[in-house]
């Protein structure tokens, strides 16, 4: 993330040597700064080809993982969302809906798989009981993924987005209205 006192109204994000660079006006304060960064990063990631795919591909992936690790349970829906700033995924077990944070679009496949299996396990056990963990932990790298995500969260909070290269950009004008 770079800020500039010369930049007055616009913010931008683009790929540079495998990282997303975010440019912001220096006057932009929290929480607006964090909201703008998250929105710009999500836009750049959404434009990147091959970035963990669409909701349809996410559903196919969930079905494969469910058959292998969670006794074939199926969510009513599973989709990428951009409004989860503090969670990697969420499951509403009463409706069978699973949401996966856009922030996971760039993680290794095994980390995304662990998150999906974790949320699928909530369809069987809607809590974090020992029975829930017996189901979720059927995926061999579940604990490794939790450790990875702790470090990844730290990197995101510092603005260290390590991603593949592309030249996609996203721009936004910062004013009194909300971004997006």
* Mean model confidence pLDDT for the chain: 80
Q: Is residue 31 part of a domain?
A: yes
Identify whether residues 43 and 63 lie together within a single domain.
Answer: no
Q: Is the pLDDT of residue 111 over 70?
A: yes
Tell whether the model's pLDDT for residue 74 goes beyond 90.
yes
Is the per-residue pLDDT at 160 higher than 50? no
| Whether residues 60 and 134 fall in one domain | yes
Q: How confident is the model at residue 5 (pLDDT cuts 50, 70, 90)?
A: low
Handedness of CA 34, 40, 41, 43 (dihedral sign): positive
Are 129 and 167 found together in one domain? Answer: no
Does residue 180 belong to any structural domain of this protein? no
Number of domains present in the structure of the chain: 2
Domain that holds residue 25: 2-50+161-173
Q: Does one domain contain both 103 and 46?
A: no
Q: Are residues 61 and 129 in the same domain?
A: yes
- Report, as an integer, the average pLDDT of 63-79: 95
pTM of the model: 0.62
| Residues 6+ positions from 59 with CB-CB distance below 8 Å | 75, 77, 78
């Amino acid at each position: 993330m770079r800020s500039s006192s010369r930049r007055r109204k616009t913010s931008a994000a683009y790929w540079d040597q495998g990282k997303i660079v975010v440019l912001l006006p220096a006057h932009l304060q929290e929480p607006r700064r964090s909201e703008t960064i998250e929105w710009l990063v999500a836009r750049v990631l959404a434009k990147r080809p091959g970035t963990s795919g669409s909701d349809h591909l996410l559903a196919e992936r969930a079905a494969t993982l469910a058959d292998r690790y969670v006794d074939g349970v199926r969510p009513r829906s599973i989709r990428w969302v951009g409004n989860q700033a503090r969670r990697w995924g969420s499951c509403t077990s009463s409706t069978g809906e699973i949401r996966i944070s856009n922030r996971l679009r760039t993680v290794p496949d095994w980390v995304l798989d662990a998150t999906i299996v974790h949320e699928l396990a909530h369809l069987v056990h809607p809590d974090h009981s020992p029975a829930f963990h017996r189901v979720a932990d059927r995926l061999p790298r579940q604990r490794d993924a939790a450790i990875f995500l702790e470090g990844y969260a730290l990197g995101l909070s510092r603005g260290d987005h390590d991603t593949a290269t592309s030249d996609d950009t996203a721009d936004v004008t910062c004013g009194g209205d909300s971004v997006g």
